[in-house]
Structure 1
Amino acid sequence: MSVVKSIQLMLPKDAVYQAGSCVKGQVVLTLHSTLVDPIVKVELVGRGYVEWSEETGATLDYSRDVICNNKADYVHKSKMFPVKDNWLSAGSHTFDFHFNLPPRLPSTFTSKIGHVFYYVQASCMGREHILAKKRMYLRVQGTSDFPRENKVSPLFVETEKKVTYNCCRQGTICLQIQMENNIFMPGGRVHFTTEIDNQTGKCIKSIIFALYCHVLYEGFTPKTERRSRVESSVLLRQEANTQIVPFNTTKIVSVFNLPPLLSVSSNMLEGEIMSTQYELVSIVHLPWSLTSVKAKIPIIITSSPVDSDNCQMQEEADSVSQE
């Protein structure tokens, strides 16, 4: 039986940590019996990884899959807790820790291709052997430098399309989206107004609103050839059942509640493994014309770093070793 009964990490449940903020917690080590010369350690780690396969040799008489990947290290800090007289008695022992997150970090992210993850890991080591280990993953909200004062207000897009119905008849559908601004924070509310001008002899029964997330990944082949790939996904979706009668105009006011944790909008910079852009799309499906009308408007997600001075002072005041 191991001398360590359990090792636990005590952190706020379901917390979202802003880049630049402080991660505070406790390590609780419970022993069956006395432990001599223990090493009790806690680490903060943040990493990113992308991987996908792509087909090559399409112009030849064969093809093969090439694995493209990339990785990044965002943060790695560790602390070893001092142990008085180099031994711990049976029972529970509590160790407090503080970690300061760097002010510039990407958000926690998971897809089929890419991952950005952060975790805190506590461990207890005896004489050259790890006796116990516990890991907890963190949700970290990344930051951006986008200047909010440069926002465009209001924002307006319009799409007009001529459609055919009843074999030979034609009409136009005009679709408009209007917003007061298109810059939002994670957890915010996206307000927008859609106007549909139905200049056909058919009724429009529904309209779909969707917030798309477009992620550009960058990786390298085994021969260090640079590759990129774009993946799009629907972040939020709503469907409005309408009865827009022929030769009539209807306005629809909609609201999206953004998740509290989002990747910020960004362009691909040197050394990054992925970048993110968002787009609000309104879609009018016309089953009687076998077509659809779309209007798209860009959305910018931004988040500012917090003041990390207080946590930095706490880190420096801790009487522990740090790597």
Structure 2
Amino acid sequence: MENFELFLEKSHTQRDYYSAGEEIKGHVAISTKGRVRVARLSLRFIGAAHTEWHDKCTGAPFESVDKVLDEYRDLTSELSSLCDGSTELSPGEHSVAFHFKLPMDSVSTIAKDGHGVVKYFCVASLDLPDDGGDNEIVAEKEFAVTAYLNLDAPHFREPAHSSEQMTKGGVFCGRIRRVKAELCVEELGLMTGETCEVTLTVENTAKRGRRKSHAGEGHKCGLISLCQQVDFKAKAKTGEWQKRSLTTAVQSQGICKANCAKKPETRRTQKTDSSSVLTFLESKWKNIST
């Protein structure tokens, strides 16, 4: 046996992902210098989610490993078609093609240090019989997967709202002041590069006198960020589960109101970055005096 290699149509790079439900195609290349007896050729598609970390307070380890894919394919019959009657491969180069369809519920590949990873592998095994037993030759390739999400589902086409309120009390029984912010996203089912209208309304009931040195300023600023959050869960030996969340700001947009007019002020910004979903922002600021 001179060479045994596994090839996939897509190499493992950040741009060459397989989508859930997509068919994986490839071939196993076998090169021999002389006649070689073979017994079996098989493939296994494996996917695993591995989370691991230590608790910051107690130092207790948390670790979980779950299989998300485990499929077996026997290619012995395809290999036998290349052999003669004695199940021997003749000298030269041989190729066995294969294909496998990923399940629709496959989860996405991810790798975050200190949190967890989801990895996929294709493993090819060739059994070679000899007098002392079976020898096995193994070749392995890693591939990446993106999950399938139906963005046309009704709940993804509806607007999403969120609000937050902060209450401030004055010193020595002073007047209570409230600042309320409300965020509305036009729809949630978006592809990379699509535009989305985001409306931020801030209502401030606080009335404060400004210092004379800053009488001509009074800027009111805020920040809208598009964030991605991934949740990881791991289990300790005691059976206790722990959850960690990792939030990444994909894009941020600063918004400012230059004067303190009582009527709402709108600012629109057109983004041209095709790598971001948040490409159209609309902000409204409203000051109400009491």
1:72-91 aligned within 5 A: 72-76=66-70, 77-81=72-76, 82-83=79-80, 84-85=83-84, 86-91=87-92
Hey, what does 2:241 align to over in structure 1? Answer: 227
Question: Does structure 1 conserve the Cα–Cα contact (< 8 Å) formed by 2:8 and 2:24?
Answer: no
Relative distance call for 1:228 and 1:8 in structure 2 (3 A) is same
Amino acid of the residue matched to residue 79 of structure 1?
D
Relative distance call for 1:67 and 1:114 in structure 2 (3 A) is same
Which structure has the larger Rg over C-alpha atoms? 2
Q: Percent identity?
A: 14
Relative distance call for 1:116 and 1:122 in structure 2 (3 A) is same
Relative distance call for 1:104 and 1:198 in structure 2 (3 A) is closer
Distance (Å, rounded) in 2 between the aligned partners of 1:26 and 1:259: 36
Question: Does structure 2 conserve the Cα–Cα contact (< 8 Å) formed by 1:193 and 1:254?
Answer: no
Q: Deviation at 1:38?
A: 5.1
Question: Does structure 1 conserve the Cα–Cα contact (< 8 Å) formed by 2:50 and 2:66?
Answer: yes
Aligned-CA RMSD value: 3.8
Q: Could you say what secondary structure the match of 2:154 adopts? A: helix
Relative distance call for 1:32 and 1:17 in structure 2 (3 A) is same
Distance (Å, rounded) in 1 between the aligned partners of 2:35 and 2:75: 19
Bigger mean CA deviation after superposition, 29-38 or 151-160: 151-160
Relative distance call for 1:145 and 1:254 in structure 2 (3 A) is same
Q: Could you say what secondary structure the match of 1:126 adopts? A: strand
Distance (Å, rounded) in 2 between the aligned partners of 1:147 and 1:226: 38
Hey, what does 2:250 align to over in structure 1? Answer: 236
Q: Deviation at 1:215?
A: 0.6
1:89-128 aligned within 5 A: 89-111=90-112, 112-127=114-129, 128=134
1:142-181 aligned within 5 A: 142-143=147-148, 148-151=153-156, 153-159=158-164, 175-181=181-187
Hey, what does 2:3 align to over in structure 1? Answer: 5
Unaligned 5+ segments in structure 2 are: 169-176, 205-209, 211-216, 284-290
- Count of aligned positions: 243
Q: With the length of structure 2 as denominator, give the TM-score of the two structures.
A: 0.67
Q: Which has the higher contact order (CA 8 A, sep 6+)?
A: 1
Amino acid of the residue matched to residue 106 of structure 1?
V
1:211 is the counterpart of 2:227: yes
Question: Does structure 2 conserve the Cα–Cα contact (< 8 Å) formed by 1:198 and 1:246?
Answer: no
Q: Deviation at 1:97?
A: 0.6
Question: Does structure 1 conserve the Cα–Cα contact (< 8 Å) formed by 2:115 and 2:232?
Answer: no
Relative distance call for 1:176 and 1:215 in structure 2 (3 A) is same
2:64 aligned to which of 63, 70, 73? 70
Relative distance call for 1:251 and 1:156 in structure 2 (3 A) is farther
1:134 is the counterpart of 2:136: no
